[in-house]
């Protein structure tokens, strides 16, 4: 296995429980031994728009190296299983992409202006690796006020969608979530900071300074995003 994306041996992972649902999140600073190499690879990648008229990621995406995805999933599989009390499991599917937020606030469509989930599958997890500094915000987590939901499931979706259909549109990038949502926690961006959470938790990128957004991987809001699904070992 390549050592190009080796993790920093001194990186320490911490876990916290957030919101009323006490959903875990994992955070690690200085996660990769050589994050600059990953940024170099991103700079040579072919980014394409990841959004359309109906929404989607508000920026550009490019393929992540398979070796990076494998390294990160193998390193996080044990901690995720332990922190989230999954029992004896193994990764059964993983995919990922470099991502750069680029859209100005006036170009966002309604779904991009509200918290979202990546999936309602309880065994899918997001691993978000920041390759930019704190000026680009971070990731915020939310509770939907009307339903009290902080995570979504197949059973919760009908009530959530019905409630959201009666609520007005939000403006710009999601901040504190008012009036329809309440922020429960926030992880600040930081070069080489990694955060892992369940994909079904309501969350949004925190983008406090849209004027800083640029498509340049070396100076923009660059992240590496991996989604991994676990199944029985």
pLDDT, one tens digit for every residue, the chain (233 residues): 456 898 998 998 999 999 999 999 999 999 999 999 999 999 999 999 999 888 899 999 999 999 999 999 999 999 999 999 999 999 999 999 999 999 999 999 999 999 999 999 999 999 999 999 999 999 999 999 999 999 999 999 999 999 999 998 898 999 999 999 999 999 999 999 999 999 999 999 999 999 999 999 999 999 999 999 999 99
Dihedral over Cα of 155, 23, 230, 95: its sign: positive
Residue 98 in contact with residue 201, Cβ under 8 Å?
A: no
pTM summary value: 0.95
Architecture of domain 13-232: Sandwich (2.60)
Structure tokens at 105: 């606030």
Residue from 137, 130, 140, 135 nearest 186 by CA = 140
CA 51 to chain centre: 16
Residue from 210, 140, 229 nearest 178 by CA = 140
């Amino acid at each position: 296995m390549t050592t190009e994306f080796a993790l920093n041996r001194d990186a320490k992972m911490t876990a916290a429980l957030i919101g009323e649902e006490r959903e875990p999140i994992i955070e690690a600073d200085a996660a990769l031994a050589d994050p600059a190499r990953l940024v170099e690879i991103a700079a040579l990648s072919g980014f394409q728009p990841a959004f359309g008229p109906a929404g989607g990621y508000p920026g550009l995406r490019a393929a992540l190296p398979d070796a990076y995805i494998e390294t990160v999933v193998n390193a996080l599989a044990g901690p995720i299983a332990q922190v989230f009390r999954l029992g004896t499991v193994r990764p059964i599917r993983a995919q990922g992409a470099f991502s750069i937020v680029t859209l100005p606030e006036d170009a966002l469509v309604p779904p991009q202006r509200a918290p979202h989930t990546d999936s309602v599958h309880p065994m899918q997890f997001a691993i978000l690796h920041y390759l930019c500094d704190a000026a680009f915000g971070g990731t915020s987590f939310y509770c939907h006020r009307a339903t009290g939901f902080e995570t979504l499931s197949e059973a919760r979706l009908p009530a959530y969608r019905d409630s959201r259909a009666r609520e007005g549109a939000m403006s710009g990038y999601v901040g504190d979530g008012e009036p329809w949502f309440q922020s429960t926690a926030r992880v600040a961006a930081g070069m080489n900071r990694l955060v892992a959470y369940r994909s079904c938790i309501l969350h949004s990128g925190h983008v406090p300074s849209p004027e800083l957004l640029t498509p340049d991987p070396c100076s923009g809001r660059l992240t590496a995003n991996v989604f991994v699904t676990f199944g029985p070992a």
